[in-house]
Amino acid sequence: MKSSYRSFLQVEPQLVDGHISYFLGAVGMPGLTALLGVREKGHVTDGANQTMVVSGAAGACGSVAGQIGRVDGCTRVVGICGSDEKCRVLVEDLGFSAAVNYRQGDVATALKESCPNGVDVYFDNVGGPISDAVIAQMNNDGHVILCGQISQYNKDVPYPPPLCDETREALKSKNITRERFTVLNYMEKHEAGIIQLSQWVREGQIKVLETVVNGIENMGVAFCSMMKGGNIGKQIIKISD
């Protein structure tokens, strides 16, 4: 693997046993975002009996972030997603401890059941009321990895979006860190990160989820489906063999 310009990294197909689409997802930018987010902002400590919650957990980044939390030593990893099928995949295929369908029932109640010891690390991909519910149940000295706020992107608000009074007070009173995270600020760690992710994938410690649509003529349909949550893992358009 060779690097040249600051924004360019040449990768080798053998790193992913020829599955080159993985470089768009689990062994690419989404995977690096998950890895460096957990490692740089999550403060996961093996043996510390920590619980991690991931929102947007069935997406390209969230699905990898939760698996990294498990690999790095979290006792429980709970995913929040938008369908029962996604919940099933997270638990049965990816090894999450539990999953919450935010479209079914009360998220706060489901979180209490899934996180009996509270939440120590929160990988936040969505923002909004879901994140308010998670932060309300976080333990003292917890850490929020502010990766994305997709529920807020169509609103005319600054980034990060403003928080409600209750959430701001919870962060302050519990000494919870909440720092925005941009993977491009860690370019010097990308090459080692790609090698680590590819090793985990080859060893089966991290499993890759993809939703593949054939034909570039179907790109628009696939994109709209992704924006409505129709994908599980990375949305891929396959244009040729």
The CATH number of the domain holding residue 125 is 3.40.50.720
pLDDT tens-place string over residues 44-53 = 999 999 999 9
Range of the domain at 133: 32-188
Instruction: Quote the number of domains for the chain.
Output: 1
Q: Is residue 77, in this structure, part of any structural domain at all? A: yes
Does residue 208 fall inside a structural domain? no
Q: Does 159 reside within a domain?
A: yes
Owner of token pair 């925005």:
180
Q: 56 with 150: CB under 8 angstroms?
A: yes
Q: Is residue 4 part of a domain?
A: no
Model pLDDT for residues 88-144, shown as the tens digit of each residue: 999 999 999 999 999 998 999 999 999 999 999 999 999 999 999 999 999 999 999
Task: Answer whether residue 226 is part of any domain.
Answer: no
CA atoms within 13 A on the CB side of 201: 26
The verdict on residue 118 lying in a domain is: yes
**Minimal CA–CA distance to 27: which of 209, 241, 227, 188?**
209
How many beta carbons lie within 10 A of that of residue 214, not counting itself? 13
Q: Is residue 53 part of a domain?
A: yes
Q: Tens digits of per-residue pLDDT, 64-97?
A: 999 999 999 999 999 999 999 999 999 999 999 9
The answer to whether 137 and 112 are in contact (CB under 8 A) is: yes
Both tokens assigned to 165: 């009074």
Q: What is the reported pTM?
A: 0.92
Q: What size, in residues, is the chain? A: 241
Cis peptide leading into residue 116 (ω within 30°): no
Say if 15 falls within a structural domain: no
